[in-house]
Amino acid sequence: MPVKGRFAVAGLGVLMLASSFHSLDKGRLAWVNVHGELFWAGGGVAIGVVLIMVSLVPASWIEKAGALIATFRRARRGPAEIR
C-alpha cells in the first residue's frame, strides 16, 4: 500500500478513536447510526486502534502472509483438485 493510502487508513483510525473518546467523555456509551443500528463507543475505540495498527504493518509482511495462506490452501486440496 502506498504511503498516501496508509495515511488515509491511519487518519480514519484516528478519527474513529477521537470521536469515540469524545462521546465517552460526554457520557454517551452508544448512539444510533444512519441505518438505525446501535454504534457502541467502545467498538469505535477498538476499530480505531485496529485501523491505526493495520496502517503500520509493513507491505512485506502482508505479502508473506498472502503467500503463506495460498500455500495452506493448495495443501488442503485433494489430489484430484490440483491442476
Q: Are 49 and 12 in contact (CB under 8 A)?
A: no
Q: Are 53 and 16 in contact (CB under 8 A)?
A: no
Q: Give the cell for residue 28.
A: 454517551
User: pLDDT exceeding 70 applies to what percent of the chain?
Assistant: 87
pTM > 0.75: yes or no: no
> Per residue in 7-26, pLDDT tens?
999 999 999 999 999 989 88
- What span, in angstroms and rounded, lies between the C-alpha atoms of 37 and 34? 7
> Per residue in 59-74, pLDDT tens?
888 888 888 888 877 6
Q: Produce one character per residue of 31-57: b if its CB has 16 or more CB atoms within 10 Å, e if not.
A: eeeeeeeeeebeebbebbeebbeebee
